[in-house]
Structure 1
Amino acid sequence: MPMVAGMVMTLLAAVGVSATFTPPAHATVITDIAYAPAQPAGSRGHLLDLHLPSTGITPRPLIIWHSGSAWTSDNGKEGPDADAVAAIFNPLGFAVAGVSVRSSSQAVFPAQVHDVKAAIRWLRANAATYQLDPNRFAIMGDSSGGWLTEMAVFSGGVAALEGTIGTTGVSSAVQVGLAFYAPTDFLQMNAQSLPPGVIDHDSPGSPESLLIGCPIQTCPAATALANPMNYVDANDPPLLFMHGQADFLVPHGQSVLLYNKIKAQCGDAIFISVPGADHMKDEIMDPAQFANHTVRTTTDCTETVGTGTFHTTWDNFATFLRGGLKMGTSCEVTYATGGWPGAFNGSVTVRNTGTTPIEKWALTWTWAGNQQVTAYWNSVITQVGTAVTARDAGHNSYIGPGSSQNASFTASVTGTNAIPAQFKLNNIVCPRVP
């Protein structure tokens, strides 16, 4: 078991987002907020950090983040992961709360779920103080943090998992979730392990057994209570979850089981299966694998399966979260051209009609004819076939609520020069206005 524990901790150290991320400039970070009294005294499991953007419209949507540790740490609010999420989402107008829960050595399940629900209740009860939108709470996490995310998403309204810690009488519901490579059915982990026998999840000293408080195969009823799948129903919030097919710490099959359960219950989910990826975000988000992702989507008892149809980028994650939080269409486009034989100048002006700022924008459209961009300004434009992408030029990457940015170009054309049928800003469809 010491060898297994060492292996687990080594892997966990490698899981995080690159440390090159730093907390965003012009944001306020309030650390070590106690959402409930410490248990045990001096522990950190009932603390949270709030990263509040200095820009954007209030009240702000909130993202709750918890870093995985195989349930061995009571400090899941800190580290490069929380900083990275804040660095990405604060400029988009999201508040970010890094939330810690108790470790398995401090308290066994369901303490960790009681803790995260207490944190959610505290954040909702104090939403006005920190200018948070109490109706737009998202939750994210990786590994055991992904498990905590899924438990929070699926167990809304389950009284047995609510607990009495901290603030009570307030909803602990979230509106959307995003999870990286989370365990679900602990009892099947050994059978699904790749390769078999590297980690004994059934051992009395395994992370799963320590969480439940007994060797999991000897207490299947207690273990089943910690299985997110057992709380899935058709009324759950949408979940986006990802898993690498080469994950030898948490088997890929764990997410397959969850997706099948959500589909059977007519739930709302996107499951992205990444070939060759191990238990690391860098591998899950590797652009080299984008075209090979298997993307399974289920909603309203209808399933679609595609390859490479959802790229695992922070921009796309933000789009998914915006949809789950019902933040609505956030843009509109004005398109104008002026031409001469064989060529024309074009201008696309995009306006942010949403309530949160947009940072690092990419505007995409598809030509209906043989138009070919030959020069551009105010943006960086690339074209592959008929598909065009105009990205910000760096100096104009920010589009505040009600503000606009422009992409201009010269293009060659023969024949009909039709207006593109659709424009998308960071994968959000923008209606075209005169």
Structure 2
Amino acid sequence: MHVRSRTAAIAGMVMTMLAALAVPLVLPPPAQADQVISNLAYAPAQPAGSKGHLLDLYLPAGGTTPRPLIIWHSGSAWSSDDGKTGAAAIAAVFNPRGFAVAGVSVRSSAQAVFPAQVHDVKAAIRWLRANAATYQLDPGRFAMMGDSSGGWLTEMATLTGGVASLEGTVGTTGVSSAVQTGLAFFSPTDFLQMNAQNLPTGGLDHDSPASPESMLIGCPIQTCPAQVALANPINYVDANDPPLLFLHGQADFLVPHGQSVLLYNKIKASCGQGRFISIPGADHGLDFVMDPTRFGTQTTYTTANCSGTTTAGSPNPTWDTFADHIRGGLKMGTSCTVAYVPTTWDGAFSATVTITNTGTTPVDRWAVTWAWPGNQQVTDSWNATLTQSGAQVTARDAGHNAYIGPGSAQSFGLSATYSGTNARPSEFRLNGVVCTPAA
């Protein structure tokens, strides 16, 4: 039987297994995006009438602009061309944190075989970067996230930046398709080892001509190892890759836990940046790997600078943990302190603001925001560019002081007028993170 004679049977088999395992196919809660722009075509439909070249944008009204972007793709065993489904729930988590979210669809394996799916996601990234100004996105701060086959797509996008053979010619060209960090959930990597890594109780027959992996590649995977190798994200790992966080349940029935073990070992051996959270007892699904009843049981493997560490019980796999990883990978900062020192005279004052990066990752390009408690009005600034709208003030780096290493600080100053009281602002934020007042 020719492998392209895929019917609804394989999709039905996989989806039936997902349902039997109570894997959530849509992430709660419902989205609360401030603006949703649906069905943007990043390339012409192929085939006509299909959905694989569409994306949805979820844009927050608040926060500083340009906005960092999270690109989401939902897993489906490569059987769906509607992978943007599920992005609404991701937006509900990240829009309030100041992130834009793009749900991106790619062609299904029934519509096109590998590397079409990688060509598609790279085309979507290029389109988003080329249109960043239109949607007030920060083209230098793109992250990607996905689960299962969406996690595989995330790893391929994160680890193959600059790999010309995987760019393709879909849609917009001549723009970078690189992302700056990735977050992948329970992803397949080396298809040829999946059967050997199945749980003792069984699992999907990944070597079958009708398996999701064989359908993606376009041949029974054990008969075409060279083509399978091109679809293995492990084979693209090197020391220059962006930081990648990935999670896997040890009781995953559909995608063996060992797939992520292989990836972590390659990142560590290559002196890359990776963090692998392994959750005992967790099956295939976000509700499983993020189950609070398992908090504290996980093991976290972290590698950077050619060395690795193992931590038992932390960090917990929560949205806060994931947001910290993304912020760190995008060099936005994860924690900070602020010192505000004013010098006041009749109806006017000057102030020095010193921001210290108390996180473990660098900050590259910063915006400090606050609201005046009175009628203060900025008249001048130095070592930063200040803009004011009503009581809201944004101070952006001056270029020469854009970098703040871990434990380091940058200062800027301002002059302003006021009448009445001149109380200090109650809160300063560094790239959206609330800073602790310095002692």
Give me the TM-score of the superposition, normalised by structure 1: 0.76
Contact 1:52–1:94 (CA under 8 A) maintained in structure 2: yes
Task: Encode CA deviations 1:190-211: one digit per residue, 9 max, x unaligned.
Answer: 0001136432100100000000
Partner of 1:8: 14
Compared CA separation, residues 4 and 105, structure 1 to 2 (3 A): closer
The DSSP-based 3-state class of the residue aligned with 2:296 is helix
Q: Which residue of 2 aligns with 1:43?
A: 50
Partners of 1:46 and 1:193 in 2: CA distance: 33
Structure 1 CA distance, aligned partners of 2:425 and 2:128? 30
Which residue in 2 is equivalent to 1:288?
293
Partners of 2:63 and 2:436 in 1: CA distance: 22
Deviation sequence 1:106-136 (CA, Å, 0-9, x none) = 0000000000000000000000000000000
Q: Deviations over 1:193-252 (max 9, x none)?
A: 113643210010000000000000000000110000000000000000000000010000
Q: Please state how far the C-alpha of 1:15 moved relative to its aligned partner.
A: 3.1
- Greater CA drift, 99-108 or 9-18: 9-18
CA drift at 1:309: 1.8
List alignment gaps of at least 5 residues for structure 2. 1-6, 340-354, 358-365, 371-423
Q: Does residue 22 in structure 1 map to residue 30 in structure 2?
A: yes
1:51 is paired with a residue whose SS is: strand
1:215 is aligned to 2:220: yes
Distance in structure 1 (CA, Å) of the matches to 2:128 and 2:46: 19
Correspondence 1:34 to 2:44? no
CA RMSD of aligned residues (A): 2.7
State the Cα distance separating 1:18 from its structure 2 match. 6.0
Match of 1:67 among 62, 67, 74: 74
Residues 37-95 of structure 1 deviation map (CA, whole Å, 9 limit, x = unaligned): 000000000000000001111000000000000000000002xx311110010011100
Q: 1:20 to 1:321 in 2, by over 3 A?
A: closer
The one of 206, 223, 245 aligned to 2:250: 245
Q: Work out the number of aligned pairs and report it.
A: 353
- Does residue 105 (structure 1) correspond to residue 110 (structure 2)? The answer is yes
1:163-191 Cα shifts (integer Å, max 9, x gaps): 00000000000000000000000000000
* Cα distance in 2 between the residues matched to 1:84 and 1:256: 28
Q: How does 1:77-116 map to 2 (within 5 A)?
A: 77-78=84-85, 81-116=86-121
Matches within 5 A, 1:29-428: 29-78=36-85, 81-195=86-200, 197-332=202-337, 355=367, 404=426
Partners of 1:312 and 1:17 lie apart in 2 by 19
Q: Quick check: 1:92–1:357 contact (8 Å CA) kept in 2?
A: no
Whole-Å Cα distance in 2 between the matches of residues 6 and 72 of structure 1? Answer: 9
- Amino acid in the other structure paired with 2:224: C
Contact 2:64 2:98 in 1 (8 A): yes
Shift of 1:285: 0.6
Equivalent residue of 1:8, what SS?
helix
Instruction: State the distance in 2 between where 1:310 and 1:65 align.
Output: 22
Deviation string, structure 1 residues 280-320 (Cα, Å, up to 9, x no partner)? 11110112212110100000101000101211000111111
Q: 1:404 to 1:65 in 2, by over 3 A?
A: farther
What residue is the counterpart of 1:372 in the other structure? none
Q: Which residues of structure 1 form unaligned runs of 5+?
A: 335-350, 359-401, 407-424
Q: Give the aligned residue type for 2:62.
A: T
Relative to the length of structure 2, the TM-score reads: 0.76
* Cα distance change of structure 1 residues 144 and 112 upon mapping to structure 2, 3 Å threshold: same
CA contact (8 A) 1:56 1:357 kept: no
Identity %: 71
**1:422 aligned residue:** none
